[in-house]
Amino acid sequence: MAIIISMAIGLSWYSRKSACEAQEKAAVEKMQIALDDYLIDNGAYPVAIANVSDRLAGSVTFSNGIPLDPWGRTNYNYRTNSAQSFTLVSAGFDGLYGTADVLIAGK
């Protein structure tokens, strides 16, 4: 019985992790689109990700101008590399940068 319960808990955890990873990927894609729209309108990427929060209303949850990842943490790291280039990094499920589940996007 304990083995069955352990398997059920493991499957539930894996299912939640997979769902959150899919939400994370979708959120990063939406942020990329909002950042590109900002570039088109303003000629440069924003200095802070909070500058596109209005473009993401309803699709990405923000806390004090910082987007929350699917796990409820502020683990998105955004920086502009130049007026025409940015890097957006999500710390992933474990909340740590430099691990295998990190998601990196940018232009």
Residue 12 has pLDDT above 90, yes or no: no
Q: Give pLDDT, residue 90.
A: 87
pLDDT tens track for 53-91? 888 877 777 777 778 888 888 778 899 999 899 999 888
76-82/85-90 β-pairing? antiparallel
Dmax of the chain from CA atoms?
A: 62
pLDDT tens track for 27-44? 888 889 999 999 999 999
Q: Give pLDDT, residue 46.
A: 94
Q: Give pLDDT, residue 6.
A: 55
Report how far residue 68's alpha carbon sits from residue 81's, in angstroms, rounded to the nearest whole number: 22
This prediction's pTM: 0.77
Decide: 24 and 92 in contact? Cβ < 8 Å: yes
